[in-house]
Chain A
Amino acid sequence: MKLHYYPGCTLKEKTTNLDESTYAAMKMLGYELVEPENWTCCGAEFPLNEEKIVGLAAPARILRQVEMEGGDKVVTACAFCFNVLKQTHIALLNDPLKQKRINAYLKDDIRIDPVTKERTTDFPEYRGDVQVLHLLEFIQKEIGYEKVRSLIRRDLGNLRAAPYYGCRLLRPKGETGIDEPDDPSIFEEFLESIGIGVVDFPFKQECCGSYLSVSLPDAASEVSYRILRSAKLNGADMVVLSCPLCYYNLDRRQDRIREKFLEFTGMPVLFFTQILAWALGVEAEILGLDQHFFDPRPVLGITDKAEVAS
């Protein structure tokens, strides 16, 4: 079955392991992912300024492209992209005036083919009918946990994973989030369906430090450490998440965390699609497990090629 999938820039650059494992896992679940043609950056942040709506143009253009290709829904694996696309969808759905103003930009689009230099104009308006789903939501609502359970090929029953939501999947509360921000359960349900043990820990919705790892790296590593420590205290073998920025802060920055907190011994951090693909029987080589700072292969029992990072 074909399904529109918006990867987002980070998945093609810094976290190809999220992108590749998404393709692999969805293939096992019977879906062929289709990326909307000529997709651009989603904007990464949903503009909070109500008046300056030009920030909505990029995500709206992506949604229009899906609509032009005959799609009625688009899935994302990146929590950031999901958040921007979903908020854009809601903003336009509930505000016809906003939709009209955005379409005033979109209909003047000119696309110049980089090779042939051919100009395309006369784009249609965005009608607002494209549903935005995070892959976790898509699995819950459209694939169903029963089906996932029936396709599991590897037994992960001896492992315990701590689901880490971060903020983008859950907030703002209400229409945008995929679950109740203060008491979510969708990630836990997902992990249970792939047969891995689930750890409940109180920091699953706390901020990972976000962009502070650029401006105030010490502050970021402090909050990142709290999350990893709490997961470990509660008996987790790994943290599972869906956001590239959380991944960066929780995995790639473990070198800084170690420098600052000497008692920290490290913790594997995996994307939910990596653990899903692994459980579904996908080969380890295509999951990008070698890109992680803290090598997750030993905990998954992949010993032959283990090159534990320093």
Chain B
Amino acid sequence: MNGNGKKKRIGVFVCHCGVNIAGVVDVERVAKALEGYSGVSFSTHYIYMCSEPGQNMILETIREEKLDSIIVAACSPTLHEKTFQSVIELAGLNPYQVEIANIREQDSWVHSDKEKATLKAIKIVKSMVEKVLQNESLEPIRVGVTRRALVIGAGISGIQSALDIADHGYEVLLVEKNPSIGGHMIQLSETFPTLDCSQCIMTPKMVEASRHPNIRILTYHEVESISGYVGNFKVKIRKKPRFVDPDKCTMCADCEDVCPQIVSDEFNMGLSFRKAIYLPFPQAVPGTYTLDIENCLGLLPIRCGKCKEVCEPDAINYDDQETVFEEEVGAVVVSTGYDLYDLNHLGEFGGEKYEDVINGLEFERILSASGPTGGEVRRPSDGKVPKNVVFIQCCGSRDPENHNPYCSKICCMYTSKHAMLYKHHVPDGNATVFYIDVRTGGKNFEEFYQRTIDEDQVLYVRGKVSKVYKEGDKIIVWGVDTLTGRKIEMEADLVVLAMSMVQTDGVNELLKKLRISSDANGWLSEAHPKLRPVESLNAGFYLAGCAHGPKDIPETVSQASAAVAKVGDLFAQEQLLHEPTVVPVDEDLCSGCGICVTICPYSARELDKEKGVVKVNEVLCEGCGACAAACPSGAAQQRNQTDDQIFSMVRAILRG
């Protein structure tokens, strides 16, 4: 008898899974043991239930035997539950009237004693019969979709994502914490393996994004929090005061000329200086000055006020305020990029003690035509042209004992590019690269690397560097050539370190709030490493670019477009379907203690103070059951997984 007092007609289908199950479990005996068990009208076994003949057999049996629910004793429900749900739907039954008895992963694969494994299989199937007896027919929960996306971070991955979403015809909010969009790519000199000028290929994209009618660029803004659920997020965005009206600013630079505050320039990696009121770089989008309040002498005109005095279009507004506002979106693309591992971690290379020991991004700025040295290779300490440059790869990468265990992936190629470009600038200079392996997996990458060696005579030394120190004005590098086994001690004028890539500072805190998981190294986790590489496990969140792990530009762009294809899938749906196996509240039983509210990891439950009971947002509920286990009064019962069902299952198992 089921909960409604009607007698159920259950069919049991035991799968052999070739020898995966049948090799250990006596499937025939299992099928026989279930014949005549309470509620079971039919029981059989077959070699592959998931095959088309297997599915057809189930379909026909349901019709012939007039079954109203079935049990498939087979592999884990994560694999074929959907298959069998669609089979019984074809037969006109509710998909929640099928249950999978897992006799493979939880039985045949982990046992070798055939007798005991068979008895266990019988118990598992019987317990599922008890569950099905009380299963209700459920309908999925339907919710609408807000067809508007949020993209967090406006480097190349964010810009590409925003452009693609906008071209699909949807509105996009592109949020960037810095004053301009562009990310790290706009800082690069030339890109491997084609030596395209990075700015030349990046700025058209930036302009396109800024002119696209579907894209709203929010620079100098940060995402505070995101609430809601897939298709229906509410985003709190914080606007940082820029003190300059982008619409009025003509970029005449008068304010910059009079500003007395000189600070280190982030865009040039600290290799040059800027004023407290500044334009990050000439092609900045939006094209406007920004007043960096932390370094400004003070907004009161009495303190300084020089910039406001000279600003002809009256674009400077000292009363600009920080504001927080809310927007609604249906999908979120996380494209927050990367940082470089801090040089302070490498004490053996002097940490940050030596001016002429720099990281790869600093060298990019030195190589860049728009960089602090105007495109000439000059070292930071004294501006001399370095004649001996040592490049060290894997600084902080591939070193599980001391630093990061992973490969930063792009460093082999950019070091090769650095050495090549250096030789183009200083043909009589010496470039030496210390490497562990040279990894050139990518289209035209290996050819590029070979060119560095053959045409540009860059010396590659296989070995690690143990120490970099300064003696007088010379930098001394100690290393080893592991191919000859010899110690190497050499002088250098400049040392360029291929620092490991790491997750951006502060991103993990935001992501914890969003419940997007990250791996042991801080990179964002995808839903499946092979089959769902651009989605987060948290529905509605998509991953693009280096926030997900080290990547080069083409890979980043591909991932951004792939993530947008998934956003398109979401937006193409009329309504979103949510699993109905949620945990509602029986208001008659609920005492309003609120234990379930604190325990819910999805913030799906809240206390209705007026009524003194808990309310459930069924769309947020993921059906994990934590509240049902914690509820002291039994008011929280998961659909098709009630306490009664669980007790009946336990009893069936104990009975044998």
Q: Which residues of A pack against B, CB within 8 Å?
A: 173, 180-184, 202-203, 206, 230, 233
Measured CB to CB, the nearest residue on chain B to A201 is B469
Contacts of B402 in A (CB 8 A): 173
* Chain B positions within 8 Å of A203 at CB level: 469
Whether the pair B347, A202 counts as a contact (CB closer than 8 A) is: no
Chain B interface category by residue count: 10 to 19
Inter-chain pairs besides A202-B467, A206-B467, A230-B471, 17 sampled, C-beta below 8 Å: A173-B402, A180-B347, A181-B347, A182-B346, A182-B347, A182-B348, A183-B344, A183-B347, A183-B351, A184-B347, A202-B350, A202-B469, A202-B470, A202-B471, A203-B469, A233-B471, A233-B472
- Write out the residue numbers on chain B whose beta carbons fall within 8 Å of the beta carbon of A233: 471-472
Set of chain B residues within 8 Å of A180, measured between Cβ atoms: 347
Residues of A within 8 A of B467 (CB): 202, 206
For A206, list chain B residues within 8 Å (CB): 467
Instruction: Give CA–CA (A267, B630) in the complex, Å.
Output: 73
In whole angstroms, how far apart are the Cα atoms of A202 and B471 in the complex? 9
Distance in angstroms between the alpha carbons of A203 and B348 in the assembled complex: 10
User: A-side binding surface: helix, strand, loop or mixed?
Assistant: loop
A169 to chain B, nearest CB (A): 15
A-B complex: 5 closest residue pairs judged by Cβ atoms? A183-B347, A182-B347, A202-B469, A182-B348, A183-B351
Query: What is the CA–CA distance of A294 and B60 in the complex, to the nearest angstrom?
Result: 101
Kindly list chain A residues whose C-beta atoms are within 8 Å of the C-beta of B471: 202, 230, 233
What are 19 contact pairs spanning A and B, CB under 8 A? A173-B402, A180-B347, A181-B347, A182-B346, A182-B347, A183-B344, A183-B347, A183-B351, A184-B347, A202-B350, A202-B467, A202-B469, A202-B470, A202-B471, A203-B469, A206-B467, A230-B471, A233-B471, A233-B472
Most buried by B among A173, A183, A230, A233: A183
Within the complex, what minimum Cβ distance (angstroms) separates A179 from chain B? 10
What's the Cα separation between A180 and B344 when bound, in Å? 12
| Cβ-closest chain B residue relative to A173 | B402
Interface residues of B in 333-351 (CB under 8 A from A): 344, 346-348, 350-351
Minimal beta-carbon separation of A302 from chain B (angstroms): 32
Closest residue of chain B to A200 (Cβ to Cβ) is B353
What are the residues of chain B within 8 A of A181 when measuring CB–CB?
347
Residue of A nearest to B344 (CB): A183
- Report Cα–Cα, A206/B478, bound state, in Å: 12
Q: Which residues of A contact B347 (CB under 8 A)?
A: 180-184
Q: How far is the CB of A199 from chain B (nearest CB, A)?
A: 14
- Complex Cα spacing A173 to B350, Å: 18
Q: Specify which chain A residues have a CB less than 8 angstroms from the CB of B344 in the assembled complex.
A: 183
Instruction: For the complex formed, measure the closest distance between the CB of B116 and the CB atoms of chain A, giving whole angstroms.
Output: 34
Q: Of residues 300 to 355 in B, which have CB atoms within 8 Å of A's CB atoms?
A: 344, 346-348, 350-351
Q: How far does the alpha carbon of A203 sit from the alpha carbon of B476 in the complex, in Å?
A: 12
A residues near B470, Cβ cutoff 8 Å = 202
User: CA of A203 to CA of B467 in the docked complex: distance in angstroms?
Assistant: 10
Residues of B within 8 A of A230 (CB): 471
Which residues in B have their C-beta under 8 angstroms from that of A183?
Answer: 344, 347, 351
Min C-beta distance of B497 to chain A, whole Å = 14
CB distance from B580 to the nearest CB of A (A): 50
The CA-CA distance from A183 to B352 in the complex, in Å, is: 11
- The distance from the CB of B493 to the nearest CB of chain A, in whole angstroms, is 17
Q: How far is the CB of A170 from chain B (nearest CB, A)?
A: 11
The docked-state distance in angstroms from the alpha carbon of A203 to that of B471 is 11
Cα A116 to Cα B619 with chains together (Å):
86
Q: CA separation between A206 and B467, bound complex, in Å?
A: 10
Q: Which residue of A lies closest to B351 (CB)?
A: A183
- 399-423 of chain B: CB within 8 A of chain A: 402
State in angstroms the CA–CA spacing of A233 and B350 once bound together.
17
| Chain B residues positioned under 8 Å from A184 (CB to CB) | 347
B286: min CB distance to chain A, Å: 42
What residue of chain B has the Cβ atom nearest to residue A183's Cβ? B347
Distance between Cα atoms of A202 and B470 in the complex (Å): 7
Query: How many Å lie between the Cα of A182 and that of B466 in the bound state?
Result: 10
Nearest chain B CB to A283 CB, angstrom units: 39
Q: How far does the Cβ of B518 sit from chain A's closest Cβ, in whole Å? A: 25
Q: How far is the CA of A230 from the CA of B470 in the complex (A)?
A: 10
Which partner residue on chain A sits nearest B348 by CB separation? A182
Interface positions of B from 373 to 413, Cβ below 8 Å from A = 402
How many Å from the CB of B375 to the closest CB on chain A?
33
* A223 CB → nearest B CB, Å: 12
Cα(A59)–Cα(B582), bound, Å: 62
Nearest-Cβ distance from residue B392 to partner chain A, whole angstroms: 15
Task: Please report the C-alpha to C-alpha distance between residue A203 and residue B466 in the assembled complex, in whole angstroms.
Answer: 12
A206 to B470, CA, bound (A): 14
What is the minimal beta-carbon distance from A168 to any residue of chain B, in angstroms? 18
Q: Given the complex, which residues of A lie within 8 Å of B348, measured CB to CB?
A: 182
- Nearest-neighbour CB distance to chain B for A222, whole angstroms, equals 12
Nearest-neighbor residue (CB-CB) of B402 within chain A: A173
Shortest Cβ distance from A58 into chain B, in angstroms?
29
Task: Output the nearest chain B residue to A202 by Cβ-Cβ distance.
Answer: B469
**Distance in angstroms between the alpha carbons of A184 and B348 in the assembled complex:** 10
A83 to B471, CA, bound (A): 31
* CA distance in complex: A182, B467 (Å): 10
Query: Nearest residue in A to B469 (C-beta to C-beta)?
Result: A202
Chain B: minimal CB distance from A194 (Å):
24
The answer for the CA separation of A183 and B349 in the assembled complex, in Å, is: 10
B467-510 to A contact mask, C-beta < 8 Å, 1/0: 10111100000000000000000000000000000000000000
Contacts of B472 in A (CB 8 A): 233
Measured in the bound complex, the distance between the Cα atoms of B470 and A233 in whole Å is 11
Q: Whole-angstrom distance between the alpha carbons of A134 and B472 in the complex?
A: 34
In the complex, what residues of B have CB within 8 A of residue A182's CB? 346-348
Closest Cβ of chain B: how far from A200's Cβ, in Å? Answer: 8
Q: Mark B450-479, 1 if CB is under 8 A from A, else 0.
A: 000000000000000001011110000000
A148 to chain B: closest CB distance in Å?
26
**Shortest distance from the beta carbon of B345 to any chain A beta carbon, whole Å:** 9
A263 to B347, CA, bound (A): 31
| Interface hub of A173, A202, A230 (most chain B Cβ within 10 A) | A202
Q: How long is the Cα–Cα vector from A180 to B402 in the complex, in angstroms?
A: 11
Docked Cα-Cα span, A255 to B470, in Å, equals 27
Determine the residue in chain A with the shortest Cβ distance to B346: A182
Tell me the bound Cα distance from A206 to B346 in angstroms. Answer: 16
Closest Cβ neighbor of A185 among chain B residues = B347
Closest to A182 in B: B347
User: In the complex, what distance in Å separates the CA atom of A182 from the CA atom of B471?
Assistant: 18
Question: CA–CA, A183 to B469, complex, Å?
Answer: 13
Residues of A within 8 A of B350 (CB): 202
B349 closest partner in A (C-beta): A182
Q: Please name the residue on chain A nearest to B472 by beta carbon.
A: A233
**Chain B nearest CB: distance from A186 CB in Å?**
13
**CA A203 – CA B347 in complex, angstroms?**
12
CB distance from B490 to the nearest CB of A (A): 15
Bound Cα distance from A230 to B348, whole angstroms: 16
Closest CB in chain A relative to B27 CB, distance in Å? 46
Q: Give the CA-CA distance A17 to B409 in the complex, in Å.
A: 54
User: What is the minimal beta-carbon distance from B158 to any residue of chain A, in angstroms?
Assistant: 36
Give Cα A182 to B348, complex, Å: 5
CA distance A230 to B474 in the complex (A): 13
CB closest residue in chain B, given A230: B471
Query: In the docked arrangement, what's the CA distance between A173 and B469, Å?
Result: 21
